[in-house]
């Protein structure tokens, strides 16, 4: 059951992202490859969920959050390759030489605030997972997916309002009904 919930949460996040950015599409192959890896990790966590597994999973979780945050912040214009780290350090070096404040001030402040809050929530989930080593890893993994789906839905609504776009009546009704239930 939890495997289907992972799939549903992932596809919901992907649908929200592609609705907001129709020019950026994830291929079906990459989406299902990621889902296969998630189900494999979930199975490994249930069967062999020792301390080293939890540490490795937490590192993978936080690195994934960082990479996805950069991807969302730059709206798909950033690519992850081996020269990306070098480019970042070169840009920081030259920006620091020109103007130190230019490096600190975010280009998209609204996105930065929301992504920082989302990353703080994911760090809190990771700390709780490491601290309490919940016996049911599948439910813990599902809580990560559901929390991120809620965070991304909130992010989508706030960004829509920040760009002065209106929320249509039918989605607004669904939002109100979801809070009521």
Which of the 8 DSSP states describes residue 165?
P
Which of the 8 DSSP states describes residue 81?
-
The CA distance from 2 to 138, in Å, is 7
pLDDT in tens, the chain (181 residues): 788 999 999 999 888 888 877 777 778 888 899 999 999 999 999 898 888 998 999 999 999 999 888 888 877 666 666 677 777 778 777 777 777 777 777 778 888 898 999 999 999 999 988 887 767 888 899 999 999 999 988 888 888 888 888 888 998 898 889 888 8
CA angle 142, 44, 39 (to 5 degrees): 50
**Number of domains the chain is built from:** 1
Q: Residue 156 sits in which domain range? A: 2-180
CA proximity to 3, closest of 51, 57, 46: 46
Tens digit of each residue's pLDDT (9 = 90 or more) over 29-65: 888 999 999 999 999 998 988 889 989 999 999 999 9
Contacts of residue 141, Cβ cutoff 8 Å, sequence gap at least 6: 2, 6, 38, 41, 42, 45
Contact status, residue 57 vs residue 111, Cβ threshold 8 Å: no
The CA distance from 80 to 84, in Å, is 6
What are φ and ψ of residue 26, in 5° steps? Answer: -90, 135
Give the burial class of 42: count Cβ atoms within 10 A of its Cβ; 0-12 exposed, 13-18 middle, 19 or more buried. Answer: buried
The CA distance from 110 to 159, in Å, is 8
Distances (CA, A) of 157 to 123, 152, 164, 168, 171: 22, 9, 11, 11, 10
């Amino acid at each position: 059951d939890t495997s289907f919930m992972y799939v549903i949460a992932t596809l919901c996040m992907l649908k929200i992202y592609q609705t907001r950015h129709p020019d950026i599409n994830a291929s079906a192959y990459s989406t299902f490859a990621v889902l296969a890896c998630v189900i494999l990790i979930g199975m490994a966590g249930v069967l062999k969920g020792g301390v080293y597994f939890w540490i490795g999973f937490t590192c993978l979780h936080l690195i994934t959050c960082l990479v996805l945050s950069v991807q969302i912040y730059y709206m798909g214009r950033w690519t992850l390759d081996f020269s990306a780290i070098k480019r970042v350090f070169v840009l920081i070096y030259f920006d620091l030489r020109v103007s130190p404040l230019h490096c600190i001030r975010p280009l998209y402040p609204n996105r930065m605030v929301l992504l920082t809050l989302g990353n703080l929530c994911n760090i809190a989930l990771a700390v709780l997972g490491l601290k309490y080593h919940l016996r049911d890893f599948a439910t813990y993994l599902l809580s990560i997916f559901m929390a991120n789906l809620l965070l991304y839905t909130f992010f989508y609504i706030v960004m829509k309002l920040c760009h002065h776009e209106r929320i249509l009546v039918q989605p607004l009704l669904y939002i109100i009904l979801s809070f009521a239930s």
